Amino acid sequence: MKSNLLSLIIGLSFVCFDIEAQNRADQQHLENPNSFSMILLGDPQGYTKYDINQPLFDLCTAWIADNIKNLNIRAVLCTGDLVEQNENIVRNRRMVNQTSKEMWTAASNAFSRLDNKVPYIIAPGNHDYGYVSAENGMTHFPEYINFERNSAWRDICVSNIPNRTGISSLENAAFEFDEPNWGKILIITSEFAPRDTVLYWAKDLVAKPKYKNHKVFFITHSFLRERTAERTNNEKYAIYPRNWGQDIWEKLIEPSENINFVICGHTGKPGEFEDNVAYRKDKNQKGKTVHQMMFNVQTIGGGWEGNGGDGWLRILEFMPDGKTIKVRTYSPLFGISPSTKHLAHRTGEFDQFSIVLAD
């Protein structure tokens, strides 16, 4: 009996070892073991609007959860448009085969892989409001992405203000991180086309003595256009009151001396990969450089009605020098298999680059 029990224990130990030692086709690593990372997800609406695409978004968040320790992941950032339509039960089969509730459920389920493990910080997009696309300020975001679902937010969420319908929500919120080599970082999210109320809240927040010396990142959905990196302006959405990219720059980013980095999604079109990304840098009123980056993968992988983005995401590695962020563009979809891992890395100048947060 003892012999059989011993054999069972040994057998189980080998099973556990095999699980922990799964052979990864394309295991990613930090360039410097003293770095930490944040993962950037572009607009995932193309994953959630078709049931056949939804496992690709699950793969992305499962890959992130699997790499939290390996890549020292501190947060996941998302540019919004979690769904194609916020409130619709009539399926236009040419562009969706899911109701809005099914899309919100799919997005929620994908992010649930990160709950109680790592914070995910989302700036909702135009498709997350109204009926089809931001006809008004109604949104189901607070129902599905609510504060209580993820304990990773509890100690880092330091401020928020109500959304357009008066509900306390993570749509407009601020998150504080304290890293040994970087000091304190404040990440602020905003609703789509934020109201003046939101911009003034953010402006007052970053000017407070408590946050004045923080490195501040601002995430909003609409800010830059693809390729040209021109700021968005006068977009044709009915939601009101509102501010587009140029307004956000003039009212919040340029006057604030400690906003270092703006991240957005929203724009893009079928074509080359560079039709879905943008980057620029400008000086604020204090003469400090503000880096601005757009990343939106929804048309990669077959256009508007393709697979939703081929799994592309960005690994932002925060180097131990306290000022350099190294950007890599990577796809777990391709990286998961030995036969496709050679396709998992984009290395063009707009795919792989460094951002130096210096005056």
Give tens-digit pLDDT for 15-27: 443 444 467 889 9
Say which residues have a Cβ less than 8 Å from residue 24's Cβ, sequence separation at least 6. none
Res 22: pLDDT:
61
pLDDT tier, 358 (very low <50, low <70, confident <90, very high otherwise): confident
pLDDT tier, 267 (very low <50, low <70, confident <90, very high otherwise): very high
pLDDT in tens, 214-266: 999 999 999 999 999 999 999 999 999 999 999 999 999 999 999 999 999 99
- Mean pLDDT of the region 36-61: 97
Strands, E assignment, the chain: 36-41, 73-78, 120-122, 157-162, 168-179, 183-189, 215-219, 259-264, 277-283, 289-295, 313-318, 324-330, 345-346, 353-356
Res 146: pLDDT:
97
3 state DSSP class of 61? helix
> How much is the pTM?
0.93
- The Cα–Cα gap between 298 and 312 comes to 9
Say which residues have a Cβ less than 8 Å from residue 191's Cβ, sequence separation at least 6. 123, 124, 129, 137, 163, 164, 171, 172, 198
Q: Angle at which helices 54-66 and 100-112 pack, to 10 degrees?
A: 20
pLDDT in tens, 68-113: 999 999 999 999 999 999 999 988 777 899 999 999 999 999 999 9
How many CB atoms neighbour CB 311 within 10 A? 23
**Tokens encoding 224:** 């830059």
68, burial (CB in 10 Å: exposed 0-12, middle 13-18, buried 19+): middle
- The Cα–Cα gap between 255 and 70 comes to 38
pLDDT tier, 5 (very low <50, low <70, confident <90, very high otherwise): very low
Q: What is the DSSP letter of 185?
A: E
Say which residues have a Cβ less than 8 Å from residue 301's Cβ, sequence separation at least 6. 46, 307, 308, 309, 310
pLDDT in tens, 315-350: 999 999 999 999 999 999 999 999 999 999 999 999
Res 172: pLDDT:
98
